[in-house]
Amino acid sequence: MSIEEKEEFRPKIVAFCCNWCSYAGADLAGSSRLSYPADVKIIRVPCSCRVNPMFILRAFEKGADGVIMCGCHPGDCHYTTGNYYARRRMTLLFSMLDFIGVENGRTRVEWVSAAEGVKFSQTMNEFVEKIYSLGKNVRLEDLRCRN
């Protein structure tokens, strides 16, 4: 039995969070002592519209098993229309990922405000469970990035 077979699968999740709402929601979840898996790595971005679809593809290439983008609720963006652009880009990215054969549940978009720490925690727990059920991402993984 190899070392990889002995270890339990722990999904690697990358979360792109808007500075003004979702990141503050994650902070509220932490200060309220709400739990979500430590496997979720949060990347703070100024606005959800700054998340280029290439960032998500690159995360998958580097070994992420799931990627979630969290932003302000539509209509409540700090930059007025940023989340509308993000929603449009993510819709196109979902269709591209579907075309190349990546499972539908590996990416997700969620709107979380700064006052929704409970929603942030629940969303991350649900997403990690979904990725856990899908298993390891092998479709877009770059073999050169393995340890």
Look up the pTM and report it: 0.89
Q: Is 13 helix (H, G, I), strand (E, B) or coil?
A: strand
Residue 40, amino acid? V
What is the per-residue pLDDT for 138?
82
Q: Is 32 helix (H, G, I), strand (E, B) or coil?
A: coil
**Residue-wise over 84-111: b if at least 16 C-beta within 10 A, else e?**
ebbbebbeebbeebeeeebeeebbbbbb
What is the per-residue pLDDT for 8?
85
What is the per-residue pLDDT for 1?
46
Along the 147 residues of the chain, how does pLDDT read in single tens digits? 455 555 788 999 999 999 999 999 999 999 999 999 998 999 999 999 999 999 999 999 899 999 999 999 999 999 999 999 999 999 999 999 999 888 989 999 999 999 999 999 999 999 999 999 999 988 776 666 666
